[in-house]
Amino acid sequence: MVIDASAFAPGHVTVFFQICDAPIDPLLKGSKGAGFSIQHGVITRVQVTPSNHTSVEISINGKKCEANVTQTVVRLALDLALQKHGQEYDVKVIQEMQIPVGAGYGASGAAALSTALALNQALNLGLTKNNSAQLAHIAEVTHKTGLGDVIAQNRGGVEIRLKPGAPGYGQIDIIPSACNFAVVCGSVGMLETKEVLSNPEKRKKINRAGDKLVKELLKEASIDNLIALSKKFTMQTGLASQTVIDTIRSLEDAGFTYCSMVMLGQSVFCFVDKNDSKNACEIFNECMPDGVVFVSKIDNIGARLI
């Protein structure tokens, strides 16, 4: 008997952050900072079949792959299933990736989180949403592919990450916003999260710049301040390529001031009125002729079964 379940997790853009990975317990590792979830993300369908041995097959956009972060989530879920049911399973994970990978849109976190939610359902693990999301957070932290995406994607909205850690351990608050604007996103390539998190000099710059920004945002929890602090962080960390800087300047010159760098990726986001998204896309395409450009909206729901 094959049991199916499907889930969706939104993409996520971090606009500034502070690395908080000192604790030994992966559930306590994470980041402080701020960002927002978008309606483009990852859809995951799982098919589980009782078996006398364990096998795992993962495909993304029709191609079989290792997908180490998702693979770790599957193994953690299967361990729980074996403890609860005394049963092994064949597992197929079929993912539709709607966002660029490695470009700062939380693709690995969305893949891991949607997998965790779907497997909790299919394997009848009986986990809460936070407990399911903890599997994804552990996988992200283990592989150094992210620190704060999962807790944000689990909740949705425009968030401030007040306390580091996995869902149920970390703490976030939401910036109230009608969020009727479109989010235009453009990317010219990867900025390897693992490399940045492991680089002492880059870590120092990030933590020095990000240390006080959460407090500054809490004094004025608004989209205006979010963007202003994001630009401040971008300039102080020196993470932006010249293409990213030129794209932001071109958008500002055209009157699209709600724009900044996506952390961590060679990517830029811009909040615009939905009627202006076409004009903003044209600027992105001019500045990033070989890049990926797409238009999304804020996701205020967070990860969920579908």
pLDDT of residue 291: 94
pLDDT in tens, 269-287: 999 998 999 999 999 999 9
Q: Does residue 134 sit in the same domain as residue 211?
A: no
| Residue that wins the pLDDT comparison between 239 and 87 | 87
Looking at the structure, tell me whether residues 9 and 35 fall in a common domain. Answer: yes
**245-255: pLDDT as tens digits:** 999 999 999 99
Residues 170 and 188 in one domain: no
Considering 121, 146, 174, which residue would you say is the last residue of a domain?
A: 174
Statement to judge: residues 10 and 133 lie in one domain: yes
Q: Are residues 24 and 141 in the same domain?
A: yes
Mean pLDDT of the chain: 95
pLDDT at residue 197 tops 80: no
In total, how many domains does the chain have?
2
State whether 100 and 218 are in the same domain. no
- The Cβ of residue 38 has, within 10 Å, a number of other Cβ atoms equal to 26
Look up the domain containing 202 and give its range.
Answer: 182-297
Residues 103 and 207 in one domain: no
Q: Are residues 67 and 100 in the same domain?
A: yes
Statement to judge: residues 164 and 221 lie in one domain? no
Instruction: Kindly tell me if the per-residue pLDDT of 262 is higher than 90.
Output: yes
Residue 101 domain flag: yes
pLDDT at 149 over 90: yes
The first and second tokens of residue 302, run together, are: 């967070």
In a domain, 303, yes or no: no
Residues 81 and 204 in one domain: no
